[in-house]
Amino acid sequence: MESVSLHGVNVPALGLGTWPMTGTQCTEAVTTALEFGYRHVDTAQMYDNEDAIGTAIADSSVDRDDVFVTTKLLRENLRRDDALASFQRSLERLGTEYVDLLLIHAPNPDVPIDETIAVMNRLQDEGSVRHIGVSNFSIAHLQAAVAASETPILTNQVLYHPYRDQSALLEFCRDNEIMLTAYSPLAEGQIATDETLAEIGATYDKTAAQVALRWLLQQEQVSTIPKASSREHLRENIDVFDFELTDAEMDRIFAL
């Protein structure tokens, strides 16, 4: 597995997205993913599946320390006391003493960013959060988060796939040593039938979905978290580390 390395941490470049899976379906998908070599799992308070993920990790033969776990504070939990209390509940549901990455799920104009970031920095100090970041932040929001934090903002998790231009945000992230985590990298599955991606993939015996993931992974400081529930998709999505797109193919995909 390739990783994105910055601020002294190696984040597995491809993780498992888990929304909207819950309950047994989610536990089974995470169990299978860990078996196939995934070492990065993305969840959120909003997804109502932290407990299902905790079960899969606890029952797996993979050590907790070898899995990069991200969760996100609900937009309604960004006030100091709500953030602290809700994060404790997240830890309990995940059955873990720490998360690798805690994100603000989305900006909330009613809560000063400094207030939430101060709580997140405190949780880092206490050891229950290894790294912090944000999600769905614009450049202006990111600037405010960076200014408020005593520690690096590790990532901004945003919508990014071949039909979605994020060049300005990505340039800002690179200039400021922030990873960009691409969510909905398969455009919620629409990518799978893309003819250009399928044509490029044919050269390497790869599917359109694999080409889309490869395209993201070949971009500096980009990680991605495709969601899959079936064994077939879970296997397919992690099988993207044995080929490389040419510059011309990368450009063809950027043009989509």
Pair type for strands 3-6 and 9-12: antiparallel
In whole angstroms, the minimum distance from the beta carbon of 229 to ligand NAP comes to: 3
The answer to whether residue 38 is catalytic is no
Closest CA to 223 of 11, 33, 34: 11
Instruction: Give the Cα separation of 53 and 41 in Å (integer).
Output: 8
Instruction: Give the Cα separation of 240 and 12 in Å (integer).
Output: 13
Two tokens, residue 149? 């934090």
Pair type for strands 153-159 and 16-17: unpaired
Instruction: Give the Cα separation of 149 and 120 in Å (integer).
Output: 9
In whole angstroms, the minimum distance from the beta carbon of 161 to ligand NAP comes to: 6
Length of the chain counted residue by residue: 256
* Active-site choice (38, 47, 160, 183): 47
For residue 103, give the amino acid letter.
L
Which parts of this chain interact with ligand NAP (CB under 6 A)?
17-19, 42, 135-136, 157, 183-189, 192, 209, 225-230, 233, 236-237
Decide whether 107 or 152 has the Cβ nearer to ligand NAP: 107
Instruction: Determine the residue with CB nearest ligand NAP.
Output: 17
Decide whether 117 or 240 has the Cβ nearer to ligand NAP: 240
> How many CB atoms lie under 10 A from the CB of residue 79?
17
Instruction: Give the Cα separation of 192 and 211 in Å (integer).
Output: 10
In whole angstroms, the minimum distance from the beta carbon of 228 to ligand NAP comes to: 4
Decide whether 183 or 215 has the Cβ nearer to ligand NAP: 183
In whole angstroms, the minimum distance from the beta carbon of 192 to ligand NAP comes to: 4
Q: Name the residues annotated as catalytic.
A: 47
